[in-house]
């Protein structure tokens, strides 16, 4: 029976999991690195608080549980992510039960190879890297949340809102791309951008006369175009990534 990874995971990850189960330590290390945000999120949900790699013992428990999940996963156990999440939660329940009976220290020494082994344990290899990746990932999430709040404030200052932006987003991909392109034109032109920022309206006449744009299109998608131009006119690097994907 095959492992069945390809149905739910990217080809690269599926191949890494297969190799890891066959004893490839580099592949196992890469899988743990790639899933480090998932591991920390799962552990944090179980703990009911945000956990930090290197500070909270639950992270080490979760990492060891995930390593166990890589070895024991089979196709008939459902999706890999669901299975790994279940293993992590069960191991954390065991950890909390033991902690409730007596003080417990998670055996960080199990992350290290003994001198006789002549090598470095897989989990030890990824510890510092996973800590850095998870910290960066959470920082990015915090920055995105901050930008969403601030962008909402900007929209409000110009008589717009998130609800209006959602309702007025062009349904067709070509129309959406065209509207984004117009928003870029406005943000890149000092005169057009200043007109929008000062008067809270699009410089329709100039866009029609100087850019040859259709007034009908401008009127139809004016709120969405204005929202895009405002996004590009302010310092919102994380939210701009969404425009790059359009």
The string of DSSP letters for 101-157 reads HS-----GGGGS--GGG-S--HHHHHHHHHHHHHHHHHHHHHHHHHHHHHHHHHHHH
| Residue position matching structure tokens 């199990």 | 110
Both tokens of residue 58?
């639950």
Q: Lowest-pLDDT range, 62-66, 132-136, 138-142?
A: 132-136
Counting DSSP H helices and E strands in the chain, the numbers are: 13, 0
Count of C-beta atoms within a 10 Å radius of residue 135: 14
Q: Report the pLDDT averaged over residues 157-181.
A: 89
**pLDDT score for 203:** 95
Given CA atoms 74, 77, 83, 89 in this order, what sign does their dihedral have?
negative
Instruction: For the chain, report the end-to-end CA distance as a whole number of angstroms.
Output: 40
Domain boundaries, the chain: 5-142, 159-244
Spatial neighbors of 190 by CB under 8 A, at least 6 apart, are: none
Query: So what's the pLDDT on residue 195?
Result: 95
pLDDT band at 13 (very low <50, low <70, confident <90, very high): confident
Asked whether the predicted pLDDT for residue 140 surpasses 60, the reply is: yes
pLDDT at 163 over 90: no
Compute the C-alpha angle 24/69/63, nearest 5°: 90
pLDDT value for 104: 38
Chain centroid to Cα 193, Å, comes to 31
**What pLDDT, on a 0 to 100 scale, did the predictor assign at position 227?**
94
Q: What is the pLDDT of residue 108?
A: 42
* 183's tokens: 């928003």
- pTM for the predicted model, two decimal places: 0.50
- Alpha helices for the chain (secondary structure H): 11-21, 25-34, 36-47, 57-72, 80-101, 122-157, 162-167, 173-188, 190-199, 204-211, 215-220, 222-233, 237-244
């Amino acid at each position: 029976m095959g492992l069945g990874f390809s149905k739910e995971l990217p080809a690269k990850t599926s191949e890494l999991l297969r190799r890891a189960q066959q004893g490839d330590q580099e592949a196992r290390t890469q899988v743990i690195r790639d899933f480090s945000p998932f591991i920390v999120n799962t552990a944090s949900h179980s703990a009911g608080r945000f956990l930090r790699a290197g500070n909270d013992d639950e992270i080490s428990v979760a990492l060891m549980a995930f390593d166990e999940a890589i070895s024991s996963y089979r196709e008939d156990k459902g999706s890999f992510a669901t299975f790994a999440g279940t293993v992590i939660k069960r191991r954390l329940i065991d950890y909390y039960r033991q902690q409730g009976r007596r003080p417990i220290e998670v055996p960080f020494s199990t992350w290290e190879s003994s001198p006789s082994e002549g090598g470095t344990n897989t989990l030890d290899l990824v510890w510092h890297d996973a800590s850095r990746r998870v910290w960066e990932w959470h920082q990015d999430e915090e920055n995105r949340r901050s930008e969403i709040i601030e962008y909402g404030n900007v929209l409000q200052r110009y008589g717009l809102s998130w609800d209006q932006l959602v309702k007025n987003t062009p349904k067709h991909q070509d129309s959406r791309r065209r509207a984004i392109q117009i928003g870029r034109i406005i943000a890149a032109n000092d005169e057009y951008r200043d007109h929008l920022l000062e008067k809270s309206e699009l410089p329709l006449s100039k866009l029609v006369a100087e850019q040859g744009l259709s007034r009908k299109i401008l009127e139809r998608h004016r709120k969405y175009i204005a929202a895009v131009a405002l996004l590009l006119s302010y310092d919102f690097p994380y939210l701009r990534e969404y425009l790059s994907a359009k």
